[in-house]
């Protein structure tokens, strides 16, 4: 029988696969290598995500986020000229001052009357804004005016709007998974000049209804006269 150093590698005996001692020693080493490589990939990915967030914040901070006014679209009355609620559109303008597309993903908005929080609303429309372009978004709400007047004992004077705008960068057709929250906080006078237009219309409506009712009452009170031959 030939003697010599046993061949290293796979050996077969009676159809059973046997690993040599050297091959067995390499398995833990390979596993350690795989773990190290996995950790390295995770570290690189984490660093890339952090850098992406930094880049996104830098770009998005350059954009302009502005309050663009409110418009009263209707007034609901309880009885007479007592106001129950006021429908209005609150407008927010986003101007893209960067060289990349940005997007307003959504917005959460809270409304205050004389610092009393009266309503929360959400804007769910996804808006893509090209470089140097702007978009004015409208949040339509109905403010519960009657309740706050009863609570305060007088008409509120200040309207507060606090918004959280969720914006992100767009690269081609892809959206960066880095939504940044931009706060917007303003306080303005309650637009009574617009509200009073609806109050005046309501007064005229009530006056016309009263005059019409009075005419009908007079007509019904007059005796009917039957002319001869008719």
pLDDT, one tens digit per residue, over 3-29 is 444 443 344 333 333 434 444 454 456
161 compared with 41, residue with greater pLDDT: 161
For 59-209, which CATH superfamily applies?
A: Immunoglobulins (2.60.40.10)
CA pair distance 147, 119, nearest whole angstrom: 12
**In the chain, what are the domain boundaries?**
59-209
**How far is CA 166 from each of CA 37, 48, 108, 183, rounded to the nearest angstrom?**
35, 21, 8, 9
CA pair distance 214, 208, nearest whole angstrom: 10
**How far is CA 176 from each of CA 10, 39, 97, 100, 163, rounded to the nearest angstrom?**
50, 24, 18, 12, 22
Kindly state the tokens that stand for 65.
């986020």
For residue 194, give every residue at least 6 positions away whose Cβ sits within 8 Å of its Cβ, in sequence order, or none: 71, 72
57 compared with 61, residue with greater pLDDT: 61
Least confident of 11-15, 63-67, 78-82, 161-165: 11-15
- Segment 91-99 shows an average pLDDT of 91
């Amino acid at each position: 029988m030939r003697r010599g150093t046993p061949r290293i590698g796979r050996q077969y005996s009676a159809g059973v696969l046997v690993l040599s001692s050297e091959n067995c020693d390499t398995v833990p080493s390979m596993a350690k290598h795989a773990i190290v490589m996995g950790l390295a990939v995770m570290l690189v990915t984490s660093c890339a995500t952090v850098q992406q967030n930094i880049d996104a914040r830098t770009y998005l901070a350059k954009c302009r986020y502005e309050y663009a006014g409110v418009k009263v679209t209707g007034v609901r009355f309880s009885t007479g000229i007592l106001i129950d609620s006021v429908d209005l559109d609150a407008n927010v303008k986003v101007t893209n001052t960067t060289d990349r597309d940005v997007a307003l993903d959504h917005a959460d908005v809270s409304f205050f009357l004389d610092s009393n929080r009266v309503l929360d609303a959400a804007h769910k429309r996804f808006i893509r804004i090209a470089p140097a372009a702007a978009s004015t978004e409208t949040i339509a709400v109905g403010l519960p005016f009657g309740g706050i007047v009863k609570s305060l004992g007088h008409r509120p004077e200040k309207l507060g709007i606090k918004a959280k705008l969720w914006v992100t960068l767009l690269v081609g057709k892809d959206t960066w998974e880095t939504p940044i929250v931009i706060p917007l906080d303003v306080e303005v006078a309650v637009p009574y000049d617009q509200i009073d237009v609806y109050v005046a219309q309501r007064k005229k409506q009530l006056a016309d209804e009263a005059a019409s009712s009075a005419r009908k009452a007079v007509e019904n009170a007059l005796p009917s006269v039957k002319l001869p031959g008719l």
